[in-house]
C-alpha cells in the first residue's frame, strides 16, 4: 500500500499566523485528500486535490482559509491561514492505493 509522510508531525502556533503542512506519497497518485480531525471527533474532508487543477473544497471550507497546492503526482501542501484556537486539530492527508486509502500519522496542530 502507499506510504504517506506528513511534515510537521506537530506544531504549536500563535493565532493569526499560518502553517503549511506537507504531504508526500511514495507513489504517483491521481488524487489526494485532506481531512481534519478535531479532538475526539471523526474525520471531516476539507478538500480534494487533483494534480494540475484547483482543489475542490467541501462545504464549510474555503480556499482563502485552507489553500492547497498539488504541484506533482506525489506531493501536496495544505496551508492553514490566519489561525485561531478553533483550528486546533489533527490534519491528515490520504490518497487511494490499490488496496485502499492510506493515512499517515497526521499533523497535530495547536493554536494558542
Partner 1 sequence: QQQVKQSPQSLIVQKGGISIINCAYENTAFDYFPWYQQFPGKGPALLIAIRPDVSEKKEGRFTISFNKSAKQFSLHIMDSQPGDSATYFCAASIRGYGGATNKLIFGTGTLLAVQP
Q: According to the binding rule CB under 8 A, does residue 105 interact with partner 1?
A: yes
Nearest Cα to 26, choosing from 49, 51, 1, 3? 3
- Concatenating the DSSP letter of every residue in 12-44 gives EE-TT--EEEEEEESS--SEEEEEEE-TT--EE
Coil vs helix vs strand at 85? helix
Tell me the closest approach of the beta carbon of residue 41 to partner 1, in angstroms.
Answer: 8
Query: Which residue of 53, 85, 100, 112 would you call a contact of partner 1, by CB under 8 A?
Result: 100
Tell me the closest approach of the beta carbon of residue 50 to partner 1, in angstroms.
Answer: 9
Q: Which is nearer to partner 1, 4 or 109 (CB)?
A: 4
Q: According to the binding rule CB under 8 A, does residue 24 interact with partner 1?
A: no
Query: Which residue of 43, 57, 79, 81 would you call a contact of partner 1, by CB under 8 A?
Result: 43
Q: Which residues in 47-66 contact partner 1 (CB under 8 A)? A: 48
What is the Cβ-side half-sphere exposure of residue 70, based on CA atoms within 13 angstroms?
Answer: 22
Distance, CA of 103 to CA of 15 (rounded, Å): 27
- Which residues contact partner 1 (rule: CB under 8 A)? 1, 4, 29-31, 33, 41-45, 48, 90, 92, 94-96, 99-106, 108
Amino acid at each position: 500500500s502507499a506510504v504517506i509522510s506528513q511534515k510537521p508531525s506537530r506544531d504549536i502556533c500563535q493565532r493569526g499566523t499560518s502553517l503549511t503542512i506537507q504531504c508526500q506519497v511514495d507513489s504517483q497518485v491521481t488524487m489526494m485528500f485532506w481531512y481534519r480531525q478535531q479532538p475526539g471527533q471523526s474525520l471531516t474532508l476539507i478538500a480534494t486535490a487533483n494534480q494540475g487543477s484547483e482543489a475542490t473544497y467541501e462545504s464549510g471550507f474555503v480556499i482563502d482559509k485552507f489553500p492547497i497546492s498539488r504541484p506533482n503526482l506525489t506531493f501536496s501542501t495544505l496551508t492553514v491561514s490566519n489561525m485561531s484556537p478553533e483550528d486546533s486539530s489533527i490534519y491528515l492527508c490520504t490518497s487511494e492505493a490499490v488496496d485502499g486509502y492510506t493515512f499517515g500519522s497526521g499533523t497535530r496542530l495547536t493554536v494558542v
